[in-house]
Amino acid sequence: MKYIDEFRDGALARKLARTIAMEADPARTYRLMEFCGGHTHAIYRYGVQDLMPDNLKFVHGPGCPVCVLPMARIDQAIAMAVEHGVTLCTYGDLMRVPASERQSLLKAKAGGADIRMIYSTQDALAIARRDRERQVVLFAIGFETTTPPTAVALKVARAEGLGNFSVFCNHVLTPPALKTILASAGPDGVQLDGILGPSHVSTIIGSRPYEFVPAAFAKPVVIAGFEPLDVMQSTLMLVRQINAHRCTVENQYTRAVNRDGNAKAQALMDEVFAVRERFEWRGLGYLPSSALRLADAYADFDAEQRFSVAPGQGKEIKGCECPSVLRGTMEPTDCKLFGTVCTPENPMGACMVSSEGACAAYWSYGRFRKKGSEPIMQKGSDPFLGAA
């Protein structure tokens, strides 16, 4: 691994931008979906979109696990804390995500529920160890990246006999979501020419699981790192594939990803989890085989079985276009609530709350405060100067 500054070098960025502009065919458009919310934030934090030719557009995907979690699952978690009196442990991004009836985990905590923000699964285990008379539930969430730590926590809980620890599992799988988006492409769906594949997810599952994309949908995929030069180099790789009418999975993020992924992490996941028949994603609906549950061997640690709460039907806040943003069919600034009613201080949807949400990216870096406005950073300026 080289120094991180090398992946944010302004001179290299300008050189890559010139190469992309030179090789992009002016007679066509390039619509490239960055699946990960981390890519979206890199693109807008460093002004990558501003460095692209006018006929190349980044399309935001559903790669934010907080954003794709449906309201009904947050409602269930709140009900566990309120109705069953458990200590619910969760990550910071989830605390302010709107649930039904303008509720949230933070508001439930203010109302007296024992809901605690943690930084890792080990924090939840520590809470369970300190008070074994108290039921502690880990609100587990994330793509394949964060699934192994949850598996480790479950194995530790079993080894230590922590009978007061359980997991409310909301881990979801990346390939089924990508397949759904590509299958919906058409006049009423998102139009895509290529995919910037997930970074951290791919360190776990490898690049092999995305080989269905060129095979079944004739779209190229490039596994892209999260730094701005990673994104730009991956964009150039996609442009070259598209120009040459090639469709394959390429790996730009070779310093962290290989074709087969992390075999040890995969084995751990296979031991502790099983694939759900279907699971609801915000914006995408119920997708088959797209999420994980606890394996039968760990069923006694399953909070859904231990604390029965009837799943409800979450209702999106009227006017919030978060589901459309997650499908890639709408930009945050197309939403009438963006920047008016919906701000980070008063979020109407998860896309404005999460640190990986597309709406949060647009707002945080001040580029599109209202529809039709010019970016603060004009084309031709150097977005890398002064970048943190």
Say if CB 294 and CB 182 are below 8 A apart: no
Main-chain phi, psi angles of 165, to 5 degrees: -110, 135
Q: What is the pLDDT of residue 369?
A: 52
Q: Is residue 81's pLDDT more than 90?
A: yes
| Per-residue pLDDT, 115 | 98
Structure confidence by residue, pLDDT tens digits, 109-165? 999 999 999 999 999 999 999 999 999 999 999 999 999 999 999 999 999 999 999
Residue 189, judged by CB atoms within 10 A of its CB (0-12, 13-18, 19+), counts as: middle
Q: What is the mean pLDDT of residues 304-321?
A: 83
pLDDT of the residue at 379: 42
Say what the pLDDT of residue 376 is. Answer: 37
Segment 313-338 mean pLDDT: 88
Average pLDDT over residues 60-74: 91
Say whether pLDDT at 101 is over 90.
no
CB contact at 8 A, 314 and 74:
yes
pLDDT at position 365 over 90: no
- How far apart CA 146 and CA 20 sit, in angstroms, is 34
Three-state DSSP class for residue 373: coil
Give dist(CA 202, CA 285) in Å, integer: 24
What are the two backbone dihedrals, phi and then psi, of residue 31, each rounded to the nearest 5 degrees? -115, 110
Q: What is the mean pLDDT of residues 201-219?
A: 97
- pLDDT of res. 388: 35
Q: How confident is the model at residue 187 (pLDDT cuts 50, 70, 90)?
A: low
d(CA 252, CA 257): 9
The pTM of the whole model exceeds 0.75: yes
Which has the minimum average pLDDT: 16-30, 187-201, 202-216, 259-273? 187-201
What CATH code would you report for 14-66+174-251? Answer: 3.40.50.11750
pLDDT for 15: 95
Query: Which pLDDT score, from 0 to 100, does residue 316 have?
Result: 74
pLDDT of residue 142: 94
| % pLDDT > 90, the chain | 76
Confidence at residue 377, expressed as pLDDT on a 0 to 100 scale: 38
What pLDDT shows up at residue 190?
Answer: 81
- The pLDDT value given to residue 371: 44
pLDDT of residue 28: 96
Cα three-residue angle 263-200-290, rounded to 5 degrees:
75
CB 352 within 8 A of CB 363: yes
Decide if pLDDT at 269 tops 80: yes
HEC string of 188-236?
CCCCCCEEEECCHHHHHHCCHHHCHHHHHHCCCEEECCCCHHHHHHHHH
Mean pLDDT of 266-295: 96
Average pLDDT, the chain: 90
pLDDT band at 6 (very low <50, low <70, confident <90, very high): confident
The neighbouring-strand residues paired with 172 are 291
pLDDT of residue 3: 60
Whether residue 384 is predicted with pLDDT greater than 80 in this model: the reply is: no
